Amino acid sequence: MSSRVEQFQAISLSHLAHRLKAEGRSVIHMEFGQPSTGAPRAAIETAHRVLDSDGMGYWESEPLKARIARHYAEAYGVVVDPSQLVLTCGASAALVLALASTFAPGDRVALARPGYVAYRNTLRALNMVPVEIECGPETRFQITAAQIAALDPPPAGVIVASPANPTGTIIEPREMAAIAEVCRARDIRILSDEIYHGISYVAPARSMLEFEPNALVINSFSKYFSMVGWRLGWLLTPMDRRHSARAYVSNMFLTAPSLSQHAALTAMDCREELEANVDVYRANRALVLEALPRLGLRSIAPPDGAFYVYANVGHLTDDSMEFCKQLLRDTGVATAPGVDFDPVEGRHFIRISFAVSTAEVEEALRRMTPWFAARMAEAAVS
């Protein structure tokens, strides 16, 4: 079973980046979707206080679940019962939990290509069948209701992500409603990955729960709340799936980290600090978008949210992995190869994360500008 799971190539790039750094090279890490900021200050203060006063243990915070339920009411106008929420060791565990507790081995689950590498590989690891739908610029690299309607036979489920990884594109509300309608008509269960909610530069992202109350929803404290290393996320299940989800989580994962749950409850009310982080990403996005034409990168996905640019480098290479390795060796800038997200067309794409500091973005662009100019010149004479 594990032999069917492919390598996460961005991790290999990161290992190379860390080796270069150990050799004394200056490296800028733009290969991962990882905020360069830490947890909110008040959340860290809460963690210090809890460490001194609570022995901790296996525990699921009812106050945190109630606070997350309130968030759905405030942000989306959706009523959620706290019993529908299962706290997990990050969104990765929530993905495993959602798939394992909802689908059976052999079930077919549709997803967009390009898409987050773990969708495809987790499905395979669970002996399910990923049905990857090619999505290009004409659909803003997002799966559509029409594509789902055309699948014959209909899959057991579909994974949607808005904002998406690696593109940052957001599905428009009308299309979200259409996807929900098609899936209801064809008895297709929707799994919505909403991990990048809160990080958008156009209209706010909408939750699939606004259109399909029986969707499963994944989210995490890693992105907007800047708590990557705390490994805390959640799965929001429909009422008819909550007991199954709890049976699976108690056997597979026990509980999420106690300390992280205490800190996360505080983090949810640190909005001023968290919105300041988004302002940094917004500034970084503007810098990257302004610089891309100088790099010769004019064909990109529109980064409506998250903190990525998915750029076509097909005029410069047909091997995005080797391209990213050479870029890293020559400039010290680590990026992610498109083959992680699209095993077919990804050889022509790279993903650049701008979740680092603005100073790092500026330095990375300074280094990459002459490097890309040289590649463009080579391509012009070849």
Q: What is the tally of structural domains in the chain? A: 2
Parallel/antiparallel/unpaired status of strands 336-337 and 333-334: unpaired
- Residues 280 and 248 occupy one common structural domain: no
In whole angstroms, what is the distance from residue 196 CA to residue 86 CA?
19
- The verdict on 207 and 261 lying in the same domain is yes
**Do 207 and 175 meet the contact criterion of CB atoms below 8 Å apart?**
no
Together in a domain, 142 and 155: yes
Query: Tell me, what DSSP letter sits at residue 300?
Result: B
pLDDT at 1: 41
Establish if 43 belongs to a structural domain: no
Task: Answer whether residue 50 is part of any domain.
Answer: no
- Kindly state whether residues 135 and 163 are assigned to the same domain: yes
- Indicate whether 254 and 350 sit together in one domain: no
Which ranges of the chain would DSSP assign to H, the alpha helix? Answer: 9-22, 41-53, 62-76, 90-102, 117-125, 145-149, 173-186, 242-252, 258-267, 271-295, 320-331, 358-381
Range of the domain at 61: 55-268
**Last residue in a domain, options 217, 235, 268:** 268
Per residue of the chain (382 residues), give pLDDT as tens: 444 788 888 888 899 999 999 999 999 999 988 898 999 999 999 999 999 988 788 889 999 999 999 999 999 999 999 999 999 999 999 999 999 999 999 999 999 999 999 999 999 999 999 999 999 999 999 999 999 999 999 999 999 999 999 999 999 999 999 999 999 999 999 999 999 999 999 989 999 999 999 999 999 999 999 999 999 999 999 998 889 999 999 888 989 999 999 999 999 999 999 999 999 999 999 999 999 999 999 899 889 999 999 999 999 999 999 999 999 999 999 999 999 999 999 999 999 999 999 999 999 999 999 999 999 998 888 7
From 268, 292, 325, give the residue that closes a domain.
Answer: 268
**Cis ω before 302 (30° cut-off from 0):** no
With 0.75 as the threshold, say if the pTM is over it: yes
278 and 220 inside one domain: no
**CA 250 – CA 255 distance, rounded (Å):** 7
Residues 60 and 121 in one domain: yes
Q: For residue 372, which of 352, 343, 347, 344 has the smallest C-alpha distance?
A: 352
CATH of the domain at 287: 3.40.640.10
Query: In the beta sheet, which residues pair with residue 312?
Result: 349
**Are residues 20 and 27 in contact, defined by beta-carbon separation less than 8 angstroms?**
yes
Assess contact for 359 and 26: CB atoms under 8 A.
no
Q: By the 8 A CB rule, do 75 and 67 touch?
A: no
Find tokens 């150990």 and name the residue.
22
Give DSSP secondary structure letters for 185-222. HHT-EEEEE-TTTT-BSSSPPPPGGGT-TT-EEEEESS
Whether residues 215 and 69 share a domain: the answer is yes
Residues 65 and 180 in one domain: yes
Whether residues 230 and 96 fall in one domain: yes
Task: Specify whether 6 is located in the same domain as 135.
Answer: no
